[in-house]
Structure 1
Amino acid sequence: MQDKKDKGSKLHEDWVVVILGALIIALSLGGLILAVPSFGWKTGAELAEKVLSPANLAIIGLQFLYVLPIALAGSWLCGKGIAGTLRTFPLVYLLTAVALVLSGNQAVKALNLEAVIFSLVIGLLIGNLFRLPGWFKAALSTELYVKIGLVLLGTTVIFSDILKAGSLGLLQALVVVLSVWYFAFWLCKKLKVDEEMSMMISSAVSICGVSAAIATSGAIKGDSKKLSYVISMVLITAIPMMIFMPYIAAWFNFPQAVTGAWLGGSIDTTGAVVASGTLVGEEALKISTIVKFSQNVLLGLAAFAISVYWTYNTKAPGADRTEKPTLGVIWERFPKFVLGFMAASLLFSFAVDAQTNALVKGSLKNLQGLWFALAFTSIGLETNFRELFAQNSRKPLYAFLIAQTFNIVITLAVAFVLFS
């Protein structure tokens, strides 16, 4: 993603994101809590009665009226003007709503196909089957939407919950995350994968899949096309892992605790972990959830560490590669949205009481997912499909698959040591 300050902009985009994220959180804590639309359905009758009912469509419409002014404010504060957003955002929202409906189907949920993959595919189809005008693509605010979602993601990373994950779960998460991240990064270097893609692949494989890839891309100002490719790999590989790993564990008679730790530490998406753990048994489900949660709570620390590393070691074009940047330069280039993420996490960890948190978390979680889905619809609309799966994209795929295999093996070994 490009993170350049637009000519004539009033504020840097990262500060705009912090402001808008804080506004959304303040509105929720102040009592403006949006009802969460229903997107779950199994049959055509359920689709018509629940998802497409007048009451649910009204909630979806109110949600649009809530996020539209925020998108307009973001465009205005970044100096892009609001005319383009007024013309493009309704279509982006409509396509995103279609993606959310499709991903709400029970059969689709069983395959663990998340809404972002439908948003991406719908955007890619329209963007590649129809010639979109230049002004339309220029008006899309992909990075703004991603970073708003990331700031809201901070409200779900509660420091006190780390204790609930358990000492063994945290220990496994630390060992696996560190070992798999460094192996994946080393492997990408060996295969000559570019550094942006290497960082995203390493984080996605080792930490928590989609969320880690998005957070890393935001931290390093990564290319949205590369991010969409990494997320596609994460979601596609999670399906066979979710299905076959429980049967492999049963074939070799792994203890349920070991199997749960293995599933939770190696499968990249939380939904797939839960589904896979359920196939094994109650103990496996409990352990897999604890281990996966332990990895998820490391996301904030990982994003911060990656941000510091990237700003310190990456030079501006044409800069002296041997000269280390000063603290002032590091601060100037440091992605400020990470501070918003951390502030949201600290706020909900230590200042917001449990009752208020329970009241607002559903609405904030829904908005977080919506902003991510809007971002991936935008990525699809501005991406050329042939470029996404071009010949030169095979090395990242090989790196991802090899790193994921290493992840499966090392996680199994650690699970046996800690949980057998």
Structure 2
Amino acid sequence: MLIKTKQLSLHEDWTVVLLGFLIIGISLFVFLPEVPVFKWSNGSDLLADVFAVGNLQVLLVQFIYLTAIGSIAAFLIGKSVKNFLLVFPIVYLLTVLALIVAGNTFIKGLNLEAVIFSLVIGLTIGNFFKLPEWFRSALSTEVFVKIGLVLLGTSVIFSDILKAGSLGLIQALIVVLSVWYFAFWLCKKLKVDDELTMMISSAVSICGVSAAIATSGAIKGDSKKLSYVISMVLVTAIPMMIFMPIIAQYFNFPEEVTGAWLGGSIDTSGAVVASGTLVGETALKISTIVKFSQNVLLGLAAFAISVYWTYTHNKSAEAVASKPTLGVIWERFPKFVIGFVLASVVFSFLLTSETRDTVKDSLKNIQGIWFALAFTSIGLETNFKDLFSNNSKKPLYAFLIAQFFNVIITLIIAFLLFGK
């Protein structure tokens, strides 16, 4: 899987904030997209409701709407708009297929969400068919996830952020420091090279893909090693996303504790959202806020890592002259978090309850579509063979052991902070 660090640049994060608020503004003042019907129980319902002419028209309007937003995103972040326009219809159709499967009443009874089927469909195609590189590079997974996260802010009231965010920040500080140090120590014991050690430690302790990419940028790491770490993050996030909610349900964990556990231990924001969705609305909100609390630490972590790397691995006069500054914190800070908080502020204080009630269903639908599109894209761009392409398995062992430690320590802290 080819990973380019520029894909998670400041420019992209500001782009998703801009587009997130563009969608909010359109919904409030211009056009409120209808919510398509995906619920069905038998073949006659499928034909009469889901494939009804009116519903197909709603889906067509939604497709045009999302294509326009996605094309603007591709243009602003410097991707090929032409390639996006070729790839997006396929991603959209596969995602709609996943939504239709998830809309079945029996499937809903099993508590299986659309993102699971989006992921499975994407993985099936991505691993059994050789997709051209231009197709994979045109996928906009991070853009889709982050637009959805900005829109998620419209459903989280500010008091929830203040209440859970303070606890989330405490949890994030404890987890990030303890897990990062454990992963660093473990990699050293297993004699993993320094670049992989830094990337693995950051990915497993902070926020997965974003942390790995930020760390690679801070230490000017090898892109192949970065691809390897991200492959591990994506592949391990899949079973964690599915089985952790099942474990929580089996042991009857409180929903707040489950949300804090998921948000603190699963490495990708999209997987956190998906797993939180499987548990419930409270778990979704808590898991997202806890994950954002960790994301906030990304800038500080990148700054600390860049300082450490400069002093320990760059002894040249040129390197000494270009020591990192406080600007690194702002450069590495995930700007989509700002969009999430601003959206929450707007919907908490600047809009009437009547206005919120008018637009909430439509915005929730659009938010869900972006997440589903993201997981279809994750499946398409993830190849299981990438995980085992590295000659040495020691980085994989280090990552898995550190991840297990992360899961256990985060669960303990979640119970201490969020248990009633």
Aligning the two structures, in what range does the TM-score lie when normalised by the shorter sequence?
0.7 to 0.9
Q: Is the 8 A contact 2:299 2:329 kept in 1?
A: no
Cα separation, partners in 2 of 1:37 and 1:194, compared to 1, 3 Å: farther
Deviation at residue 363 of structure 1 after TM alignment: 1.8
Work out which of the residue numbers 160, 179, 184 in structure 2 matches 1:184: 179
Mapped to 1, the partners of 2:13 and 2:283 lie a distance apart of 32
Work out which of the residue numbers 235, 239, 244 in structure 1 matches 2:241: 235
Q: Between Structure 1 and Structure 2, how many residues are aligned?
A: 377
Work out which of the residue numbers 383, 389, 401 in structure 2 matches 1:398: 401
- 1:346 aligned partner, one-letter code: V
Aligned-pair Cα RMSD in Å = 3.9
Cα separation, partners in 2 of 1:387 and 1:34, compared to 1, 3 Å: same
Indicate the SS of the match to 2:157.
Answer: coil
Structure 1, 123-132 or 83-92: larger mean CA deviation: 123-132
1:386 corresponds to 2:385: yes
Cα separation, partners in 2 of 1:162 and 1:236, compared to 1, 3 Å: closer
Match of 1:21 in 2: 20
Q: Is the 8 A contact 1:267 1:273 kept in 2?
A: no
Deviation at residue 232 of structure 1 after TM alignment: 0.7
Q: Is the 8 A contact 2:302 2:332 kept in 1?
A: no
Structure 1, 378-387 or 40-49: larger mean CA deviation: 40-49
Mapped to 1, the partners of 2:147 and 2:120 lie a distance apart of 22
Deviation at residue 70 of structure 1 after TM alignment: 1.1
Match of 1:306 in 2: 298
Q: Is the 8 A contact 2:298 2:332 kept in 1?
A: no
Q: Is the 8 A contact 1:111 1:239 kept in 2?
A: no
Deviation at residue 68 of structure 1 after TM alignment: 0.5
Match of 1:245 in 2: 251
Q: Is the 8 A contact 1:96 1:377 kept in 2?
A: yes
Match of 2:118 in 1: 119
Deviation at residue 69 of structure 1 after TM alignment: 0.9
Q: What is the 5 A alignment of 1:315-334?
A: 324-334=323-333
Q: Is the 8 A contact 1:218 1:335 kept in 2?
A: no
Cα separation, partners in 2 of 1:332 and 1:241, compared to 1, 3 Å: closer
Unmatched 5+ residue regions in structure 1?
A: 204-211, 250-258, 275-288
Mapped to 1, the partners of 2:303 and 2:231 lie a distance apart of 21
Mapped to 1, the partners of 2:37 and 2:213 lie a distance apart of 29
Deviation at residue 394 of structure 1 after TM alignment: 4.5
Q: Is the 8 A contact 2:277 2:283 kept in 1?
A: no
Match of 1:337 in 2: 336
Q: What is the 5 A alignment of 1:275-314?
A: 293-294=285-286, 296-311=288-303, 313-314=305-306
Per-residue deviation, residues 13-35 of structure 1 (Å, max 9, x unmatched): 23322222221111112142112
Deviation at residue 389 of structure 1 after TM alignment: 6.5
Cα separation, partners in 2 of 1:243 and 1:338, compared to 1, 3 Å: closer
Indicate the SS of the match to 2:6.
Answer: coil
Q: Is the 8 A contact 1:28 1:364 kept in 2?
A: yes
- 1:185 aligned partner, one-letter code: W
Match of 2:269 in 1: none
Cα separation, partners in 2 of 1:46 and 1:160, compared to 1, 3 Å: same
Q: What is the 5 A alignment of 1:63-142?
A: 63-142=62-141
Match of 1:256 in 2: none
- 1:188 aligned partner, one-letter code: A
Per-residue deviation, residues 105-153 of structure 1 (Å, max 9, x unmatched): 3444455444333223222221222222232223222332232223223
Normalised TM-score (structure 2): 0.74
Unmatched 5+ residue regions in structure 2?
A: 188-195, 218-225, 264-274
Deviation at residue 267 of structure 1 after TM alignment: 5.6
Q: Is the 8 A contact 1:213 1:231 kept in 2?
A: no
- 1:233 aligned partner, one-letter code: P
Q: What is the 5 A alignment of 1:152-301?
A: 152-162=151-161, 176-192=171-187, 194-202=197-205, 225-246=231-252, 263=258, 265-266=260-261, 269-274=275-280, 293-294=285-286, 296-301=288-293
Mapped to 2, the partners of 1:271 and 1:96 lie a distance apart of 17
1:57 corresponds to 2:65: no
Mapped to 2, the partners of 1:344 and 1:217 lie a distance apart of 27
Cα separation, partners in 2 of 1:112 and 1:73, compared to 1, 3 Å: same
Match of 2:373 in 1: 374
Q: Is the 8 A contact 2:232 2:396 kept in 1?
A: no
Mapped to 1, the partners of 2:314 and 2:23 lie a distance apart of 38
- 1:184 aligned partner, one-letter code: V
Q: Is the 8 A contact 2:298 2:333 kept in 1?
A: no
Cα separation, partners in 2 of 1:334 and 1:30, compared to 1, 3 Å: same
- Larger relative helix fraction: 2
Work out which of the residue numbers 3, 6, 12 in structure 2 matches 1:4: 6
Cα separation, partners in 2 of 1:401 and 1:330, compared to 1, 3 Å: closer
Per-residue deviation, residues 246-270 of structure 1 (Å, max 9, x unmatched): 3xx8xxxxxxxxx566556546643
Per-residue deviation, residues 277-303 of structure 1 (Å, max 9, x unmatched): xxxxxxxxxxxx768745544444432
Q: Is the 8 A contact 1:180 1:202 kept in 2?
A: yes
Q: Is the 8 A contact 2:122 2:377 kept in 1?
A: yes
Normalised TM-score (structure 1): 0.74
| Aligned-pair identity (%) | 40
